[in-house]
Structure 1
Amino acid sequence: MENKNRYFNLYLVLVFAVLYAPILYLMYYSFNSGGTMHRFEGFTLDYYREVAEDKRLLIILINTLVIALLSSVAATIVAIAGALAIHRIRSRRAKNALLSLNNVLIVSPDVIIGASFLILFTIVGVKLGFASVLLSHIAFGIPIAVLMILPHLEDMSPTLTDAARDLGATKRDVLTKVILPVIRPGIFSGFFMALTYSLDDFAVTFFVTGNGYSTLSVEIYSRARQGVSLSINALSTLIFLVTLALVVGYYILTRRRARKPGTAIAEPVAEAGVPR
């Protein structure tokens, strides 16, 4: 048994080494004064200063964050309504059909989705730019958020809503004080998943972005095509470190919340039934 665990741990180490080695290689040469990724000649922070002084890049960074936040919020709100609608459907065949349509959007190649949006926006007359990118990111963020929220709805006991109604809660109170608090972890998971996909997306954004408007993924791709520049390494390193900090912070908050005593389920039910 110990040998199996040892081999399993060794396998995990090798997998993570393969995954993180290119990232560490990229980060290492972002400090290279030689200007290439073939030989490390000396330590420098010039490429990080170049990134910090690039006003166009800062504008693109702001564009990316604005698109990611707005699209994630909108996609999560729509996904909550969609998950509630799917959950309330009694016909198993109809529910499976809707879930299949939802999952098709996730597994479909990004190139096909991007090309479809490009054709749609061209026919409708939507100008390619902020609006087209935002609508596209909302569209592919919705099915991801639905998959995060729906399992929490399925796990929720129907007696919670019944008890709240028996205590005199209105439909609005049942939704805001019983259902939403119960599915809150799924809502946050759906939001952060949609946010991650939006920040990371390239293929769909490449199709629907217009002249003069860009996001980080498209900008990095454009710069990489012009030749190897260590400013790309510096930018990628900063993005990776920020992402790592967010993941570590989320992990710490989750651990602290798990150590706290759980809140009784009856509390939101009782609160929802209190007449105002």
Structure 2
Amino acid sequence: MRNKLSVSSRLYLTIIFFILYAPIFFLVFYSFNSGGNMNQFEGFTLDWYKELFQDTRLLIIVLNTVVVALLSALVSTIIGVLGAIAIHSVKRSQTQNALLSLNNVLIVSPDVIIGASFLILLTMVGIKLGFYSVLLSHIAFCIPIVVLMVLPKLKEMSPSLVDAARDLGASRLDVLTKVIIPYITPGIFAGFFMALTYSFDDFAVTFFVTGNGFTTLSVEIYSLARRGIALNINALSTLLFLFTMILVIGYYFIAQRNPKGLGVRK
């Protein structure tokens, strides 16, 4: 019975992973097609990759996307960590649940509504649509994600650690920097990478708040796809997929070498 369940489980996982990764491998496969389309593979070529690296405008858009993703992930991680600590420090469970519910509003709300709301707000405030409008919007919807990644680590931490540090004469800053932050470091890294991923992948919100002269990769790919599929987009997507895989593998090996995180400093 166990063997049957094991075989069926493996078969199920194989089917699921095939459904998830087949479109990606299909895209990667045709990025080497000399035929110029995705209907029939005619021969192997690297011309689309050469064309990609010669497209200065597209490379600038990639750089814009990476800069926005890194900055928004960094800022949202700092704010999200402080927000998670603030929510965790609330004594009343009802108030804590209310704050957590408010934090989750941006996660459960449709992206179209969030994008339209940011567009109206930024226009009313007078912020010109472009780099800063995209950055502010990405920071806003990444903060709740970081809070959700960090809060479970705070709940795992024993209150005795903080009490012991205070009994030994540690200040509030020392408790924060030498006890709390080292303990929740895995959650902080998880929140940072989740925010980075969400910012890098976002299309709906960015589509509303981007302006003339500035765009991100998701919006640009959408615009190019409407004109017709070009295989240089396949090449770009392949490189981004490989870059993502390298990051995931690198983070996995770092986690394996430091399974307990940084721990609490002595």
TM-score band by shorter chain is: over 0.9
Per-residue deviation, 1:206: 0.6
- Once superposed, what is the RMSD of the aligned Cα atoms? 1.3
Q: Is the 8 A contact 2:183 2:263 kept in 1?
A: no
Relative distance call for 1:226 and 1:26 in structure 2 (3 A) is same
The separation in 2 between residues aligned to 1:52 and 1:220, in whole angstroms, is 16
The separation in 1 between residues aligned to 2:23 and 2:17, in whole angstroms, is 11
Q: Which residue does 2:149 correspond to in 1? A: 148
Per-residue deviation, 1:196: 0.6
The separation in 2 between residues aligned to 1:32 and 1:105, in whole angstroms, is 41
- Number of matched residues? 265
Per-residue deviation, 1:122: 1.1
Does structure 1 residue 107 correspond to structure 2 residue 108?
yes
Per-residue deviation, 1:148: 0.4
Does structure 1 residue 79 correspond to structure 2 residue 80?
yes
Does structure 1 residue 4 correspond to structure 2 residue 5?
yes
Q: Which residue does 2:34 correspond to in 1? A: 33
Per-residue deviation, 1:94: 0.8
State, as a whole percentage, how many aligned pairs show the same letter.
65
Q: Is the 8 A contact 2:255 2:261 kept in 1?
A: no
Per-residue deviation, 1:263: 7.0
1:177 is matched by which residue type in structure 2?
K
Alignment of 1:193-232 (within 5 A): 193-232=194-233
Per-residue deviation, 1:198: 0.5
1:90 is matched by which residue type in structure 2?
K
Segments of structure 1 that go 5 or more residues without pairing to the other structure are 272-276
2:142 is matched by which residue type in structure 1?
G
Relative distance call for 1:5 and 1:93 in structure 2 (3 A) is same
Q: Which residue does 1:135 correspond to in 2? A: 136
Per-residue deviation, 1:264: 6.8
TM-score normalised by the chain length of structure 2: 0.97
Alignment of 1:116-195 (within 5 A): 116-195=117-196
Report SS of the residue matched to 2:23: helix
Report SS of the residue matched to 1:149: helix
1:10 is matched by which residue type in structure 2?
L
Does structure 1 residue 90 correspond to structure 2 residue 91?
yes
Q: Which residue does 1:274 correspond to in 2? A: none
Report SS of the residue matched to 1:126: coil
Q: Is the 8 A contact 2:185 2:262 kept in 1?
A: no
Q: Is the 8 A contact 2:186 2:261 kept in 1?
A: no
The separation in 2 between residues aligned to 1:20 and 1:155, in whole angstroms, is 35
Per-residue deviation, 1:168: 0.9
Relative distance call for 1:233 and 1:185 in structure 2 (3 A) is same
Relative distance call for 1:43 and 1:264 in structure 2 (3 A) is closer
Q: Which runs of 4+ in 1 moved over 4 A?
A: 261-265
The separation in 2 between residues aligned to 1:187 and 1:262, in whole angstroms, is 11
Report SS of the residue matched to 2:258: helix
The separation in 1 between residues aligned to 2:165 and 2:194, in whole angstroms, is 31
Relative distance call for 1:262 and 1:77 in structure 2 (3 A) is closer
Relative distance call for 1:263 and 1:219 in structure 2 (3 A) is closer
The separation in 1 between residues aligned to 2:133 and 2:253, in whole angstroms, is 36
The separation in 2 between residues aligned to 1:196 and 1:163, in whole angstroms, is 37
Q: Is the 8 A contact 2:80 2:144 kept in 1?
A: yes
Q: Which residue does 2:55 correspond to in 1? A: 54
Residue-by-residue CA offset, 1:173-226 (whole Å, 9 max, x unaligned): 111111110111111111111001001111100100000101111111111111
1:252 is matched by which residue type in structure 2?
F
1:235 is matched by which residue type in structure 2?
L
Per-residue deviation, 1:107: 1.2
Residue-by-residue CA offset, 1:143-179 (whole Å, 9 max, x unaligned): 0000000111111111111111111111111111111
Segments of structure 2 that go 5 or more residues without pairing to the other structure are none
Q: Which residue does 1:65 correspond to in 2? A: 66
TM-score normalised by the chain length of structure 1: 0.93
Q: Which residue does 1:17 correspond to in 2? A: 18
